[in-house]
Amino acid sequence: MYKSCHLIQHGLCFFNNLLASCCFSPVDQINGQIPPLIQDNYWGEIIPVDELFKRMDKYSDIFKSGGCPNECKNCYKIEEKDWTDERYIDQITITHFSMCNADCVYCTNNNERWERTPNTYSIIPILKYLKEQGIIRKGCEFHIGGGEFTIYRECDELLELFAINNFARVFVPTNAIKYSHNLFRAMDEATTYIIVSLDSGSRKTYKKIKRVDSFNQVMDSLKKYAATDKSKEAIRLKYIIVPTYNDNMGEFKKFLKIAKNLGVRNLIIDIDARYSRINNYKIDDYFINLAYKMNDLALKQNFITEFYCFFFHNTNNKTVKKDNFITSFIKSIKFKYFDEDLKRIYSERRYCNTYGNIAKQKKN
């Protein structure tokens, strides 16, 4: 019995020039560093299985001897139990691509730590190799990150290899501008789930937030994705409250109508992560109340809701934790980019009390 982490022994995260155990690591983010590294300067090379686990052991051995790797300090994933030395991978994050066919105002790929690049390695060879070696367990979770998965060149092959055959459980955020038939098949025939951040109920608001005029295309894709009972259940429609863009019940009601017409029941409510940072990590009551109101209305209409990770903690029980782990995590990240325009917009708005008051005081 000792403290360790499942991901340090059984996780892989593919970044666009790094291979790590996970994509968490709050302490490292504070220090401007990175998660537990398996290989720096990684570009898709095949690492022999023995070598791979040898590198992973470097961290798990520290846990085994009662310590904690610097990269993992304070991480909420650490737990005490009877750990075994079994060699397998059952959680893979793929976030090594960043290109996208939308341009959302809140996208981190545009603004902050991660810049878009078409320079991406091929991930299929290493994944195929690990699967053939029997190292990737059946039922493994795949979490897709990065840019837009449906325009990533290996999307179809990846889905064929791991999702449609029910080998892995795959979680895909997609903007649904481009329809992928393989993605639909994976949702309908296997255990793949998509999250679509629509954030709007109208073409006009959609265009303002996503900065592409693709609302109608998204509606067409969503109809195809929601074609069967099983695929409907695999969709989560998300409404990110973006201050000054869609922070009103009128837009949310239209969003609910779309969800209802599609037959999609699972909804997520979230808030633009940049707002909190700029507002000194405090969420004004205006938004808390708005989120409650949205949640109440959605529940009344028999939707299943989740307040998503960033600022609100779970769901239909109506409890809100303003400062859960993820909030602390986000707080800990040092952003090199600070959006002056956004700061100005927020400071001019009535509900942005914290920042607005500071701005006012400075003026006086």
Residue 25: CB minimum distance to ligand SF4, A = 4
Residue 118: CB minimum distance to ligand SF4, A = 14
The tokens for 239 are 């409404």
C-beta of 103 vs 296, nearer to ligand SF4: 103
- Whether residue 243 contacts residue 349, with contact meaning beta carbons closer than 8 Å, is answered with yes
Q: Is 24 exposed, middle or buried (0-12, 13-18, 19+ CB in 10 A)?
A: buried
The tokens for 232 are 């409907």
Residue 360: CB minimum distance to ligand SF4, A = 32
* CA nearest neighbour of 95 among 195, 198, 37, 18: 18
C-beta of 21 vs 347, nearer to ligand SF4: 21
Interaxial angle between packed helices 215-225 and 249-262, expressed in degrees from 0 to 180 and rounded to the nearest 10: 40
- Residue 348 to residue 159: CA distance in whole angstroms: 46
Residue 209: CB minimum distance to ligand SF4, A = 9
Residue 199: CB minimum distance to ligand SF4, A = 9
C-beta of 30 vs 288, nearer to ligand SF4: 30
C-beta of 214 vs 279, nearer to ligand SF4: 214
Residue 337: CB minimum distance to ligand SF4, A = 14
The tokens for 155 are 């999307």
Name the site residues for ligand SF4 (rule: CB under 6 A). 5, 7-8, 21-22, 24-25, 35-36, 71-72, 75, 77-78, 100, 102-104, 107, 109, 147-148, 175
C-beta of 148 vs 154, nearer to ligand SF4: 148
Residue 57: CB minimum distance to ligand SF4, A = 13
- Residue 14 to residue 121: CA distance in whole angstroms: 10
- Residue 243 to residue 287: CA distance in whole angstroms: 9
Residue 315 has a CB neighbour count (10 Å cut-off) of: 16
C-beta of 108 vs 244, nearer to ligand SF4: 108
* CA nearest neighbour of 104 among 201, 202, 200, 208: 208
C-beta of 175 vs 180, nearer to ligand SF4: 175
* CA nearest neighbour of 329 among 79, 25, 112: 25
- Whether residue 197 contacts residue 238, with contact meaning beta carbons closer than 8 Å, is answered with yes
C-beta of 76 vs 280, nearer to ligand SF4: 76
- Whether residue 356 contacts residue 350, with contact meaning beta carbons closer than 8 Å, is answered with yes
C-beta of 8 vs 158, nearer to ligand SF4: 8
Residue 331: CB minimum distance to ligand SF4, A = 16
- Residue 17 to residue 142: CA distance in whole angstroms: 19
* Distances from the Cα of 337 to the Cα of 33, 102, 108, 340, 343, angstroms: 16, 20, 10, 9, 12
Residue 204: CB minimum distance to ligand SF4, A = 18
Task: Give the N- to C-terminal CA distance of the chain in Å, as an integer.
Answer: 60
* CA nearest neighbour of 127 among 114, 142, 149, 116: 142
The tokens for 230 are 């099983």
